[in-house]
Amino acid sequence: MSNSSLVCVDANIVIRFVLPANKPIQTLWEKWISKNARLVAPTLLHYEIANSLYQYEKHGQLSHEIIRDALDVALALPIELIGDADLHRRAVSLASHYHLPAAYDAHYLALAERLNAELWTSDERLVNAVKSGKLEWVKLASI
């Protein structure tokens, strides 16, 4: 059973929150804030956000100004970043168990598992990959 006042967010959720025109994610975020949820993520969150935003600019999808502003907002969000050697070890174990293509996403799984938190993502591929484990605390946000 997860602790719904503790929410682990992945980079996909943050990107969709800080970029314009994603009402479902903004509504979800407002719900967490109104419930005073503690938002957490692995330390790799900011690296993934910066890279994702850069890719939007690199491919000409968004202007440098929009990317800069979105990054500033993302970096200022009240998300507690957590990282340690045990988290990395568990992430590798989970990535192997669920046959994930990389260990990045498994860090979010490992952190949510450790803290007994919900993990919110808009990555349908990740949610499908862990279905066999019946991880009911992994939540897919509609976008």
Exposure string for 115-131, b = 16+ CB within 10 A, e = fewer? bebbbbbbbeebbebbe
In whole angstroms, give the CA distance from residue 30 to residue 51. Answer: 25
| Domain range for 54 | 3-140
Q: What is the pTM of this model?
A: 0.92
Per the CB < 8 A criterion, the answer to whether 54 and 93 are in contact is no
- Which tokens in the block code for residue 115? 């803290």
Domain count, the chain: 1
Residue-level pLDDT at 3: 56
Q: Per-residue pLDDT averaged across 20-42, rounded? A: 91
Residue 1 has pLDDT above 90, yes or no: no
| CATH classification of the domain holding 32 | 3.40.50.1010
